[in-house]
């Protein structure tokens, strides 16, 4: 399948690298605003890999084409009779090693058989969700990646030990490993999982100069306490 790409960000880079690895042809990569008539005329699939706020506008600007128009947004529905194929993965910046092998590709829209073939050739896994489920699904993906990074920033700030960035990352990986291994209350560790109110009170006291962090702490602790019962 011949792929044309509009955009040059993380998703464009990941799909382009994957396409090259599996030996399928790329008809071209156009930055937003560059001419796309040739892509529309020569591609089997056109990937609109721009920011979510620009996807609808860019998709509408594509000339009449026999190509299937797809995008990789986790929050927006398929457009122009195509499909969305969202990698459930935190993609690295363009220019760094990136591939969709082993990634869960989440599909919505038409031409399911084409999307499944892409996933199979890429060595990826495949799942389908409905149009109505996309926004909630994407909110979950944000919790599972973007907000993890924000929590790691908070942890680094509070721990305050120079050179401990990799150790904090290892701490997070150990928590993820434990969460993966258990579906019951054992997936949690720490004072909230033990119901240790004295420790949690001292923690929130130590955060009194950062009320927003104290509130985040209380909300997450309450979630763990309720789930660990």
d(CA 75, CA 82): 15
Residues 6+ apart with CB under 8 A from 118: 1, 85, 105, 124
What does DSSP assign to residue 88?
Answer: S
Per-residue confidence band for 32, with pLDDT thresholds at 50, 70 and 90: confident
Percentage of the chain with pLDDT > 90?
A: 97
Per-residue confidence band for 188, with pLDDT thresholds at 50, 70 and 90: very high
Of 229 and 25, which is predicted with more confidence? Answer: 25
Q: Chain-wide mean pLDDT for the chain? A: 96
Residues 67-117 have pLDDT tens digits of: 999 999 999 999 999 999 999 999 999 999 999 999 999 999 999 999 999
d(CA 65, CA 79): 14
pTM of the predicted structure, to 2 decimals: 0.92
Residues 6+ apart with CB under 8 A from 115: 70, 83, 85, 105, 107, 109, 126
pLDDT of residue 96: 94
pLDDT of residue 33: 85
pLDDT of residue 229: 74
Asked whether the predicted pLDDT for residue 214 surpasses 90, the reply is yes
Per-residue confidence band for 228, with pLDDT thresholds at 50, 70 and 90: confident
pLDDT of residue 210: 96
Per-residue confidence band for 137, with pLDDT thresholds at 50, 70 and 90: very high
Residues 149-159 have pLDDT tens digits of: 999 999 999 99
């Amino acid at each position: 399948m011949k792929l044309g790409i509009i955009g040059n960000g993380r998703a464009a880079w990941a799909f382009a690298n994957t396409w090259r690895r599996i030996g399928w042809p790329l008809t071209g990569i156009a930055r937003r605003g560059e001419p796309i008539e040739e892509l529309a005329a020569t591609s089997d699939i056109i990937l609109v890999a721009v920011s979510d706020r620009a996807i609808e506008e860019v998709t509408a600007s594509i000339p009449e084409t026999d190509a299937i128009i797809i995008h990789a947004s986790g929050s927006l529905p398929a457009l122009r009779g195509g499909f969305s194929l969202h990698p459930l993965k935190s993609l690295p910046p363009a220019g760094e090693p990136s591939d969709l092998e082993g990634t869960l590709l989440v599909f919505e829209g038409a031409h399911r058989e084409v999307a499944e073939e892409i996933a199979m050739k890429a060595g990826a896994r495949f799942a389908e969700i409905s149009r109505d489920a996309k926004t909630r699904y994407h909110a979950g993906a944000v919790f599972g990646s973007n907000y993890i990074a924000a929590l790691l920033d908070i942890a680094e700030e509070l721990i305050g030990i120079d050179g401990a960035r990799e150790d904090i990352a290892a701490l997070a990986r150990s928590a993820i490993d434990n969460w993966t291994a258990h579906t019951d209350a054992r997936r949690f560790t720490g004072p909230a999982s033990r119901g240790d109110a004295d420790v949690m009170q001292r923690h929130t006291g130590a955060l009194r100069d950062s009320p927003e962090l104290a509130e985040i702490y209380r909300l997450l602790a309450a979630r763990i306490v309720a789930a660990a019962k």
